[in-house]
Amino acid sequence: MKNISHFVNFKAASTSVLQWITSISKITEAKSAFCDTQLKQNAKEKQLNLVAETDSSEVYSKQTNLTTLLPELLQGNFSNQIHYPIFNAQEILKSENNFKQVLDTQLIILNCSYIDDKGIKLDTLTSKIINKAKCPILFLPDDVQEPKQLKNVVYCTDIRFTEVRFIRAFGQVAKHLNCDLTLAHASDSGIPDLDIEYGKQLYKDCFAGRISDCKMNLENLRRLDIQKYPDLIHEYLLGDVYSMINKNHLLKDGDYLESVAIKLARIAKKPILVINN
| The pLDDT value given to residue 271 | 97
Whether the predicted pLDDT of 118 surpasses 60? yes
The one-letter code for the residue type at 135 is C
| Domain membership of residue 195 as a residue range | 152-239
Q: pLDDT tens, 147-180?
A: 988 999 999 888 888 899 999 999 999 999 999 9
Cβ-proximal residues to 164 (8 Å cutoff; 6+ apart), any chain:
206, 207, 210, 211
CA distances from 11 to 36, 45, 85, 217, 246 (A): 9, 12, 17, 39, 29
**Euclidean distance between the first and final Cα of the chain, in Å?**
21
Q: pLDDT tens, 182-230?
A: 998 877 766 554 566 777 777 888 888 778 788 998 888 877 788 888 8
Residue 191 lies in a domain: yes
Listed as own residue / partner, the contacts of 196-199 with beta carbons closer than 8 Å and 24 or more positions apart are 199/159
Do 60 and 134 fall into the same domain? yes
Cα separation, 68 vs 271, in Å, equals 27
Do 164 and 127 fall into the same domain? no
Q: pLDDT tens, 38-78?
A: 866 555 555 555 444 444 444 444 444 667 778 888 887 77
Do 8 and 135 fall into the same domain? yes
Cα separation, 113 vs 9, in Å, equals 10
